[in-house]
Amino acid sequence: MQKFTVHKGLVAPMDRENVDTDAIIPKQFLKSIRKTGFGPNLFDAWRYLDPGEPGQDPTTRKPNPDFVLNQPRYAGASVLLARKNFGCGSSREHAPWALDQYGFRAIISPSYADIFFNNSFKNGLLPIVLSESQVAQLFDETLAFPGYSLTIDLERQVVIKPDGVELPFEVQAFRKFCLINGLDDIGLTLRQKDKIKAFEAERLAKKPWLTHQLIA
């Protein structure tokens, strides 16, 4: 998992409440047994004018010119600004995968659905909670100033605006530790690999019948 320490990125405003996970990554793309390749289909039904199916070449699709992520001024955005209850709906982990693989590193919203919120941290995506008034002001500034970027300092737990104003945010200590060090659940387990090997060796020495060997 990619480490998150300090990130500066262009902001894209998703001016909708209750954006659910089927809008983030529609159900037909969940057929894949891989964990990669979901970025081109992020917000597929909003992003394109033609129906999307797995395996399509994105360059052959008809982009919706009115959709925010298709507007040239937001090309390369890596911070998503959203309204309340972002990520509601089903619990699909593909939603943070798609956001991450598109290029987003952080989301700023007044509130999130619980499962999406938890899944984001486990996949290296930082969901930041700010007040509705703070988010509303960020929307106004993003729309008013092309190229509007924010700096997110996870260690200090602040969002830094272009004028230097800092907006503090809360993050649970363990989640912060995992993001700063780039540790998902597997990475956390592998930190104990020497202890795991030692335990397995000791267990087999005491209970050798647990090892099954073929006898020629």
Q: By mean pLDDT, which of 40-49, 90-99, 153-162, 192-201 is the weakest?
A: 192-201
Give the Cβ contact number of residue 105 at 10 Å: 18
Mean pLDDT of the chain: 92
Question: Residue 202: pLDDT above 90?
Answer: no
Question: Residue 15: pLDDT above 70?
Answer: yes
Q: pLDDT band for position 204 (50/70/90)?
A: confident
Domain ranges, ordered by start, for the chain = 6-183
| Among candidate residues 64, 100, 58, 97, the one with its CA nearest the CA of residue 80 | 100
Answer for the pair 117, 142: CB distance below 8 angstroms, yes or no: no
Answer for the pair 169, 106: CB distance below 8 angstroms, yes or no: no
Model pLDDT for residues 186-198, shown as the tens digit of each residue: 777 666 677 777 7
User: Tell me, what's the pLDDT at 214?
Assistant: 46
The CATH superfamily label for domain 6-183 reads Aconitase, domain 4 (3.20.19.10)
Answer for the pair 201, 21: CB distance below 8 angstroms, yes or no: no
